[in-house]
Amino acid sequence: MNKFIFPILAVVLGFLLALASKKQKSWNTKLLLSFSGAFLLALTLFELLPEVYHHLEAKLTGLLIMSGILLQIILELFSKGAEHGHVHIHKNETVFPWLLFISLCIHSFLEGFSIHDHNDMVYGVLVHKIPIALIITLFLMQSQYSRMQIAAFLLVFALMTPLGTYVAHASNLTEQYVHAINAVVIGIFFHISTTILFESGDGHKFNLSKFISIILGVGIAYLI
């Protein structure tokens, strides 16, 4: 049941942290993003990547991973990078951000496939979604959207990952198709996690706090 509950819990925790902070991204949020990016990347390397390469032909696997990277780039044309901590909503905006909403839902739905049969990946998705839900909630709260719109946005966003896991479980896809989808998801995770790690730094300056958070993310992922 954890693989269905934890993604929802992540959004709830992000929402509660946003209510507690009531301000835009702080250095603590940047550290949390760095940790989540390193943790998600490490779990992808330790859990998903070896299995996909074991079951699929190597060149096809590489092509599918590149397809996932390209898919995430396309999604970010509409989400403006919300999947890795960038949300651009004008404070006077009143029109519901449908493109942001749909792209985030597609991303979250595909995340759910990686959790099916990979119980440890739920922790990567959990840690990844907390800071993203926090940042999205902060920007939605600063907009002119109604509370009903914000609640609906966060509710559907929270449910999309468990829905993806359920579809992967209930659809009885062949093993080859499951691994193919996971290869695409690996590309998505690669793009998101590396973007987080690159963007959470201050230029090319060495940041000890960020370095420690990355080491912790990789270390904890290895020990799981």
103, 75 in Cβ contact below 8 A? yes
CA distance 177 to 196: 29
Q: How buried is 169 (Cβ within 10 angstroms: 0-12 exposed, 13-18 middle, 19+ buried)?
A: middle
Q: What are the pLDDT tens digits along the chain (224 aa)?
A: 778 899 999 999 999 988 887 665 555 778 888 899 999 999 999 989 999 999 999 999 999 999 999 999 999 888 777 776 666 656 566 677 888 889 999 999 999 988 876 668 889 999 989 988 888 888 888 877 788 888 899 999 999 999 999 988 888 778 888 899 999 999 999 999 998 888 755 555 668 888 999 999 999 999 98
Q: Count Cβ atoms below 10 Å from residue 100 Cβ, excluding itself.
A: 20
pTM over 0.95: no
Sign of the CA dihedral with 96 first, then 90, 84, and 147 last: negative
